[in-house]
Amino acid sequence: MSDNSALLPAIAQPPSDRQRTFLRYYTGTLIDLVVLGLFDEFSDKVWVESFSVALLAALVLQLLLKATIAVEHRVLDYMKSKPGKLMTALRFFVAWLILFGSKFVILEALALTFGDQVRFEGMWHGIVWLIIVVVTMVAAEELVVRFYRRLA
């Protein structure tokens, strides 16, 4: 009978902030890769030339989505300091504008980066299918996070 404790470190150390950040982006990119791959396989509106292109596109999507969320939070945090009902309504509009408008930036970034190797087709030059894919990615990431938290 072998002793598996020899494979474990003598002292377990909690992960650093950098390690947690890496794991968050790594996991998010893999989830995005799976979602993008499934849409490529089962939809005629999403097309990715190869697995390696899908991996790079998932990485680009992950970075752009995180940047969008960071911009949204920064702008909304600034706007929260301003009182009034008009500012509250404006916050919702600005959040929608950032989240919706960013999809056009993401679509253009994908087109510039990958050309015809990654395509979203259909209504409004594919923006509707990009939004569907991105919402699915965000939902899948949230489901994984919720599942992970329940394991504790």
Q: Calculate the average pLDDT of the chain.
A: 86
Q: Average pLDDT for residues 77-87, to the nearest whole number?
A: 80
What pLDDT digit, counting tens, does each position of 46-81 carry? 999 999 999 999 999 889 988 988 888 888 888 888
Q: Say how far apart CA 6 and CA 8 lie, in whole Å.
A: 6
Q: Average pLDDT for residues 1-5, to the nearest whole number?
A: 57
Alpha-carbon Rg for the chain, nearest whole angstrom, is: 20
What's the pTM value of the predicted model, to 2 decimals? Answer: 0.76
From 124, 137, 147, select the one nearest 69 (Cα to Cα). Answer: 137
Indicate the residue type of 94.
Answer: V
Beta bridge partners of 106: none
Length reported for the chain = 152
What pLDDT digit, counting tens, does each position of 100-130 carry? 888 888 888 888 999 999 999 988 778 889 8
pLDDT at 105: 87
